[in-house]
A and B are shown apart, each in its own frame.
Chain A
Amino acid sequence: MDASAASADAAAAVTRTHCPYCALQCGMELRTDASDGARLQAGGWDAFPVNKGALCQKGATSTELLDVASRLTSPLIRRTSGSELETATWDEALDFAASRISAIAAAHGREAVGIFGGGGLTHEKAYSLGKFARVVLRTPHIDYNGRFCMSAAAAASQRAFGVDRGLPFPLADVARTDVILLVGSNLADTMPPALRYFTAQRENGGRLIVVDPRRTRTAEQADLHLQPVPGTDAALAAGLLHVLIAEHLVDEEFVAARTSGFEEVRAEALRWWPERVEAVCGVPAGDVRAAARVFAGAENGMVLTARGTEQQADGADAVNAWINLALAAGKAGRPYCGYGAITGQGNGQGGREHGQKADQLPGYRKITDPAAREHVAGVWGVSPEALPGPGRPAMELLASCGADIRALLVAGSNPVVSAPDASFVASRLEALEFLAVCDVVLSETALLADVVFPVTQWAEETGTMTNLEGRVLLRRRAVTPPAGVRSDLDVLGGLAERLGVPGFLTSPAAVFAELARASAGGVADYSGLSHERLDAAAEGDGLHWPCPAPDHPGTPRLFLDSFGTPDGRARFVAVGHEPAVEEPCGEFPYRLTTGRVLAQYQSGAQTRRVRSLNAAEPGAYVQLHPDLAAAVGAAEGDPVRVTSRRGSAVAPARISELIRSDTVFMPFHWAGPGRANSVTRRTTDPVSGMPAFKTAAVRVEVER
C-alpha cells in the first residue's frame, strides 16, 4: 500500500480525491456513511479551486461504481474461438495472453501486435502502456481513444503555439474575461460545475457568444447564439476574421510583435465576406458582424472550442481558424485572454502527453526526434535504435485489425460503442486473432475479447491525472479494491515478465517518478513533480505543467512572455473551408450530429450501470425539429430510424425547436439498436486523425 492510501486510512473515512469522469477532475471528498450500510459517499471538496465543492449528478453518484453488481472480479478467458468467456485464475489469464501475443509476434512480426488505450487512464497507466508497446512488445502500434476526443485541438494548438495544453490558463480566469467565444461545447450538460465561471463572467458584465447548431442549455445562456450548419465552422471563423480586417479591428501591434504568418491568413479570410458565410453556414451576416465586433472590441477575450468544431473532417483546420481569430484580435498571450480547448476525458490532457499516442514519447516529445528518442531510451535502459517509430492513429489502427494487426490489447476504452462506424469497428475487432481487454465491467468491447482482465478503478487506486487546465492532480485511493481485481499496471507487469522483460514497474509512485524523469526537458515537463509533492497539503490544488524542478511553482498561465514555437511567436495557419465530405443528397437528405447528455458519460460503460443516472437518461433518442417530425410523420416518442451509408440506429423521437430542421441529434452513450455510432462515419481529419463524428448525411424514418 502506498503512502497516500495509508494516510487516507489513518484519517479514517475522509479521502480527498478527484472524480472518475470528465476533464474537470472535480475535487471530491469520499467518506463512509454509517447510516447507509457504511457505503462510501461522494461530497464536494470546498477548497479545491476548479469546482469549489460543486459536483454534478454523475460525480455525486460516482461511488455507486464501486459496487455495481456487474463488476468483474475474476479474469475471463475464451479458450477456443467461438466458445464462451470462462473465469480463470490470474496466472492462467496472463500465461494465455502472453503465449498468444508471443506466438502472433513470432509468426507475423512484432508489428502485428497493437495497443489501444484510453484518455481516462491515469498517467501511470498511460505512460506504462506506451513503454510496454515500445520496450516489451517493440511495436509502433499504440494509440488511444483520445484521438476521438482531443486530437484536432491538440494538432491545432501544436501548429499555432508549439504547445498543446487544453487551457493555457486556470478555468477561474474565464470569469474575468470580457468576451467568450464558446464553440461547439454544451458544457452546461457535459461539465455542469464549470458553468459557474461562465455565469460569473456574465454577472461581471462579460459577454458570451455560443456557436452550436443546436440551441443547447449552454446556448440558452448566451448573449448571442450563432447556429451554423454542422461542419462549416472554418468558414464561420474566417467570416469573423473577415469582419475584423474589413473594419480595422485587427490588433496590428500584437500581430506584428507576437505572431507570424498573418498575410496569408488575411488573404484567405478576405474570400469569406459575411454574406458568403451566411450562404454557406446559415448564420445571418449581421450576426457574424455583431460577434466579430463584440469580440474584437473587448479589452480581453477568449476562444474556447470543444468537440462540436473538432470532431469534423477538417477538425484541426477549423480549430486553427478559431485560433487565427483570437490572434488577429490580439486576444492571446496575456492574462484573461487566449485560446483553449475544453478537454473531454478525465485524463484527456495527460493521456496524450506521455507516450500513449502513436507518434509521441513521454514529455510530449516527438518519437521521430532523435534527441527525444535518445533521452527516453536512456531512461528506459534501451538503445534508441531499439525504439520503434511512429504508429498509426486510432482509426487507422482499428481499421487494420484483422489485417496486419492480429493481436490487440485494449485498456480504458470501449470502441465498440465510442468509435465511429461502430459496426465496422466491431467487425475489425472480431477479425483479430487475439483481443485482450482490461476493464472494470464486461463492456461491449470486452464481450468480444479472448482475455478480459478485471482491473481497479479510480477510488481503488492511487494515480495522477491532468485536467483541462494542465493541472496535475493526485487521485488518492479511498477503498480497498475487491478481491480478484488488479491494477492495469499489474497486468502490464505480469505480461512483461512473461514476455521476457522482468522488472516492469507496478507501483504508481515509482512509475510516476520514472515518468517525471522521462518527461524532463520535454514540452510537458513533469520532472519537478512526484506523488509526494502532489500529496502535500500545501499543494492540494495540484500544479500546472510545465514544472521542471522540485522547487518550481508550476505554470498556471502559459505564453505570457512568449509562445512555445522556436521563435516564440504564435503562428497563423492558413486554412480554407471545404464542404463536409459527406454532403446531404437525395437518398440521405439530412445531417446527423452526435453528442452527450448530462447523466451519461462517453460509451456509458460506467454511467449506464449507475441506477439514478440510468433513470435520468435510460436510452438513446433522436432529437428533431417539429417541421422535420411532421415531414417524416413522427410523433413524440415514436421509434425513429436514422440511416446513413454505414448503418442505422433506432431510438425514440424527441421533438424540439432547439435544433435546425435539416439536422437531427443523437447522444452516443448506448450500445444496441440506439448506438449512434452505427451511423457516424470513420473519415478522419488528415491533420489530426480525428474522425468526423459530428456530421453524417442521413435519412430519417419512423419505424413501423
Chain B
Amino acid sequence: MNARIVVAGAGLAGHEFVRRMLASPGFEGTVTWHTAEPGRPYNRVLLTDLLAGRHTPEAISLPALADPRLTYRRTPLGSIATAAFDFLVLATGADPVIPPVRGNAVPLRTLNDARTILRALADGARRVAVVGGGPLGVETACALARRGVRVDLVHRGPHLLSRWLDAESAALLTDSLSTAGITVRCGTEVSAATGTWPTADLVVLACGTRPRVSLARAAGLPFERGILVDADGRSPGDPRVFAIGDCAENGAVGAFAALDDARRAAVKVSELAQYSHPSPTGGHTTLGNIVPVCQPPKEVPTGSFTRSALRLRTYDVPGADVAVLGRPLADPTIQLTDQRRRTRKALTLEGDAPIAAALVGDVRAAPALARAIADPATPPPSVPLALLTSPSLRDAAGFDRV
C-alpha cells in the first residue's frame, strides 16, 4: 500500500480527505497536497464569522496535519497537470461569480477577501451593500448587521433565497431582517455595466459560485457544471481520479457535502490503495497524459442525511434561522405560520413519508426532520404534524435561547 496520492486543493474537502487518508489504518503511501491559496488551510465556512467579529483571521486555520508521509506544496493549479500520481483527488473548489463591478466591490470567497472587507470596515465603512440574496448573501448580511453595520441586501430574484424558499416564507424572513437593520431590495439586477450600482461604502458580492473544472477540462475528464463523479467521488473518465467538494457535480453543495465527499473518497482510495501496485512503467501517470474513457457517469449519490439542503448561519439575528431539507420548493402538505413571531414551517409528504421541509424563524425541528426525510431507517411518523412541533418546546422554557 505505497500509493502516491496527489491532492489538489486545501479547502474543507481537501483537508478532510488528507486528514482521513493519513489516519487510514495501514496506509504506507505518500500524499502530496497542492494548494494555490497562500497561508495555512482554513475553514471557509467561518469566513462570515470573521465579519461578525467572532474570530481573528489566523484563528480559523484548520488543524495542522504534520506527518512524514505528507508533502505540502504551494503551486499554481495548472502545475498539477504534471504531478505523477497513482490516485489524484481534485478538491479545487469553486470561483465566485463576479458581475461587472466598480472599484469598491469585493467577493467573499477567500480569507484574503474577508481581510479586505475587514480592512474596509476598520477604515470606517459604515454602509455596506451585499449583492446576492442567496445563502451566502443572507449570512453575510446577518454577520455584518451583528457587527452594527448598516446593510443593504440586493437580490435580482423575486424574493430572498428564491431557489430555496417560497414567497411567503421569504417575506417573513425579509421582515425579520428588516427589524435587524437590513434593508432588502429584490428584483434588482446589480451591474456596473448597466448602471445599477448600490450606494455604499463597500459592496460585497455574493452572487454564487462556479465549480473550478479547468484541470478536468484540460485532461478530458467529463464535466457539466462541475466535475462528474460517481457515488465514491470517482470520475467516470478515469478510475484513478476523484473529485470532491464544490468542484464536483454530485447533487449536493456546501460544507456538509464537502466533508461527506471527502469521507467517501478517503474510504474508497484507502481500499483501492491497499491492492494497488506501483505502475510497471515507472508510474508517470499525470493529468497531462491520462486518456479518459467516455462512459456515462454511474448513478449520482443520493446523499446521506447530513446533506441537509440548506442550513443558514445567521448570527443570532432574531427570526433569520432557515433550514431547507430534502427537495427545495416542494409543494407543502402541512404549513404552520405564526405571523406574529414570523415563523413558518412547511412539510411535504409523499404518502406518509416526509420528503421535504422548509423552516423559517424556528428551526429546532430541523435535525428530526433531516432524519425523517433523508435517513431511510427513521420510521415514518404516525402524526406527521408532530415533526413540526417537536422536539418539545418545554426544553426552551426559561433558557437563554436566541
Contact = CB atoms under 8 A, between A and B. Distances in A.
Interface in B379-402: 379-382, 391, 395, 398-402
Contacts of A246: 49, 54-55
A27 B48 CA distance: 56
Which 5 pairs across A and B sit closest by C-beta, in order of nearness? A631-B379, A589-B377, A267-B63, A282-B367, A246-B54
Interface string B38-74: 0000010110010000110001111110000000000
Given A245-B55, A280-B306, A282-B368, A224 B395 contact: yes
A176 interface: no
A469 interface: no
11 contacts: A224-B395, A246-B49, A267-B64, A271-B43, A276-B45, A279-B306, A279-B308, A283-B367, A626-B382, A630-B379, A661-B381
B61 A267 contact: yes
Given A223-B399, A266-B59, A273-B46, A278 B366 contact: yes
A75 B400 CA distance: 62
B61 A290 contact: no
Given A224-B395, A282-B371, A271 B63 contact: yes
Contacts of B380: 627, 631
A136 B398 CA distance: 62
Contacts of A271: 43, 62-63
Contact of B63 (A247, A283, A574, A631): A574
A284 B399 contact: no
Interface footprint category on A: 35 or more
A516 B190 CA distance: 81
Contacts of B308: 279
Given A275-B313, A626-B382, A662-B371, A284 B377 contact: no
A627 B313 contact: no
B216 interface: no
Given A270-B59, A285-B363, 6 more contacts: A245-B55, A270-B43, A270-B60, A294-B400, A590-B377, A661-B379
Interface in A637-664: 661-662
A218 interface: no
Interface footprint category on B: 35 or more
Grouping DSSP codes into helix (H, G, I), strand (E, B) and loop, the A interface class, with mixed when no group exceeds half, is helix
A231 B379 CA distance: 20
Nearest to B259: A276
Contacts of A625: 379
A670 B307 CA distance: 40
A287 B381 contact: no
B127 interface: no
Contacts of A266: 59
B276 interface: no
A694 interface: no
Interface string A93-107: 000000000000000
Contacts of B398: 223
A457 B302 CA distance: 59
Interface of B: 43, 45-46, 49, 54-55, 59-64, 255-256, 259, 305-306, 308, 311, 313, 321, 363-364, 366-368, 370-371, 375-382, 391, 395, 398-402
A626 B383 CA distance: 10
Nearest to A264: B63
Nearest to B305: A279
A609 interface: no
Contacts of B305: 279
Contacts of A630: 379, 382
Contacts of A289: 402
Contacts of B381: 627, 661
Interface string A240-273: 0000011110000000000000001011101101
Contacts of B399: 223-224, 290, 294
Contacts of A596: none
A661 B367 CA distance: 13
Contacts of B382: 626-627, 630
Contacts of B63: 264, 267-268, 271, 574
B41 to A, nearest CB: 11
B311 A275 contact: yes
A278 B311 contact: yes
B324 to A, nearest CB: 13
A661 B376 CA distance: 12
Nearest to A284: B364
Contacts of B49: 246
A586 B377 CA distance: 8
A169 to B, nearest CB: 26
